[in-house]
Structure 1
Amino acid sequence: MAKKRILIVVTNVPEYDKVGYRTGLWLGELTHFWDVAERAGFSMDIASPVGGRIPLDPESLSHEVLAELGTGERYEDREFMNLLEDTRRISEVSVEDYDAIYLTGGHGVMFDFPQSQDLETLMARFYESDRIVSTVCHGATGLLNVRLSDGEPLVRGKRVTGFSWPEEKLAQRARAVPYNLQEELRKLGADYRTADRPFESFVIEDGNLITGQNPGSAAAVAEAVVRKLEAVPA
């Protein structure tokens, strides 16, 4: 029986365009997902729009954040962190090698995910071949420009979530980000939903599309992906 595989996509962008803040991958959105999927027996690969070394959002490396849900243990794991030293390019990835795709966040993705034609093509192929498409937090920006073979946006008419505008304001990034993710999803016809309170873990499943609202939702997204993968015969 073939072992199911998951492709994880991360950002290459280390800073914002309009301000001097540094950004990159929000590490916990990778590690929390990885921990759940690894325990379930799935193998994973990491790719990025242009490949190579991945920048980390410095705020995701604070002592307080690293102490949550074991992120610090992964950060101390040299072998694990080496996975971010030389990631594959999206253009080198074959859909046929994977059963699911997961887009991580961190504000960097707002700049490169929607600009990557390779990622848009890959996401459409995953979805239209009945594979699982999942995102967390700002990773939902990777859905914004995805069109299916009929020309319709992937998210049109779908129930989705992603980092909310109230959360953006609370994170003090509303003036720094290039657009309002919540509104952009709604403009495309998505049925955008949020948790009752900012930063609560919140996940929506709409068929094979699984989206999580914020960093604290990464583990729950992984659990939803694992459930779906385990329900499908290998």
Structure 2
Amino acid sequence: MYIPKILIVVTGTPTFANGKLATGLWLSEFAHIYHRAKNEGYEITVANPRGGNTPVDPESLKSIFLDELSKKYWETADFKDMLYHAKSLDDVLSQQFDVVYLAGGHGAMYDFPDNTVLQTIIRNHYESNRIVSAICHGVSGLLNVELSGGEYLVKGKELTGFSWFEESLARRKEEVPFDLEALLKERGAYYQKAVIPMTPKVIVDNNLITGQNPFSSKEMAEVVIRQLNENSTITKQ
């Protein structure tokens, strides 16, 4: 029996550029996809650009944002240990997965966009007709990915990601290194967002799946798993 493989890519950046304000992975954006994949019996690999510890944004641990599922996992020692011992992207470069999933958190804005290893992983999987998915600031990892023909992966794609207005609501507009929404549009993406900020939004464009914000975490996980289960192009290895 073939067991699908999912690569969850997380940030390794613990602070904003000023070195004072903490950031990192947004926990729910990891916990929900991990939970669904685990329940399905998938083989899960967690990697960040350098490997090792995965910082978690303290904001994502506040009660207003920490849903019950994420809280349950955060209280589990094995779960924390897994995040502490993430593989490096170099470790997984030659491997093939059925899903590549880019989790968010502001830290991803620093170590995802210009990482050439991540770009290669995304391009190879996308061009192999496998699922590439990203949520919130994880979408920044798609920004500079060029396909074999030289065009940006996001060009002409319907997608979403954390909006500029949501950055204002999050009080991070002055801290972030760029405007994700604007850059996606600049690269030719058909960017969409929820009518009401900070509400769920998930967009599927063939094998590209994107989620807008942390509140999309549960729906995003459901859509990705459903898409994989329905995908008849999985290559058995």
User: Within 5 A, what are the aligned runs for 1:62-211?
Assistant: 62-66=62-66, 68-94=67-93, 96-211=95-210
Instruction: Give 1:87's aligned amino acid.
Output: A
CA contact (8 A) 1:32 1:69 kept: no
1:139 and 1:94 mapped to 2: Cα distance? Answer: 18
Which stretch has the larger CA shift, 172-181 or 83-92? Answer: 83-92
Partner of 2:51: 51
TM-superposed deviation, 1:70: 1.5
Q: State the distance in 1 between where 2:136 and 2:65 align.
A: 16
SS in 2 for 1:64: coil
**Matched residue count:** 233
Aligned to 1:12: 12
- Counterparts of 2:64 and 2:168 in 1: how far apart (Å)? 21
Shift of the alpha carbon at 1:63?
A: 3.0
* 1:26–1:105 contact (8 Å) kept in structure 2: yes
> Given the superposition, is the C-alpha separation of residues 54 and 19 from structure 1 closer, same or farther in structure 2, using an over 3 Å criterion?
closer
Deviation of 1:19 (Å): 6.0
Quick one: distance in 2 between partners of 1:7 and 1:134? 10
Q: Distance in 1 between matches of 2:18 and 2:179?
A: 15
Offset of 1:65 from its aligned partner?
2.6
Paired residue type of 1:231: E
- Report percent identity of matched pairs: 45
Give the gaps of 5 or more residues in structure 2: none
Coordinate RMSD, CA, aligned? 1.3
Q: 1:20, CA displacement in angstroms?
A: 2.1
- The code of the aligned residue for 1:225 comes to V
Give the distance between the partners of 1:228 and 1:109, measured in 2 at CA: 24
Q: Deviations along 1:31-83, whole A, 9 cap, x unmatched? A: 012122222332311001111111110111123333x1411100111111110
Distance 1:3 1:40 in 2: 9
Asked whether the equivalents of residues 46 and 86 of structure 2 are also in contact (C-alpha less than 8 Å), the reply is yes
Q: In structure 2, what is the Cα distance between the partners aligned to 1:22 and 1:137?
A: 17
Question: Distance in 2 between the 1:36 and 1:115 partners?
Answer: 29
Aligned-pair distance for 1:126? 0.8
2:3 counterpart SS class? coil
Letter in 2 for 1:195: A
Map Cα deviations across residues 188-226 of structure 1 (whole Å, 9 max, x no partner): 000000001001110000000000000011221111111
Tell me, in whole angstroms, the C-alpha distance in 2 between the residues paired with 1:152 and 1:112. Answer: 22
> Which amino acid in 2 is paired with 1:5?
K
| Corresponding letter in the other structure for 2:51 | G
Q: What amino acid is the match of 1:56?
A: V
Judge conservation of contact 2:155–2:189 (CA < 8 Å) in 1.
yes
Report the equivalent of 1:216: 215
Contact 1:19 1:176 in 2 (8 A): no
- Inter-partner Cα distance in structure 2 for 1:80 and 1:155: 32
**Partner SS, residue 44 of structure 1:** strand
TM value normalised by structure 2: 0.95
- Give me the whole-angstrom Cα distance separating, in 2, the residues matched to 1:216 and 1:76: 21
The separation in 2 between residues aligned to 1:49 and 1:149, in whole angstroms, is 22
Q: C-alpha separation between the residues in 1 aligned to 2:127 and 2:164?
A: 30
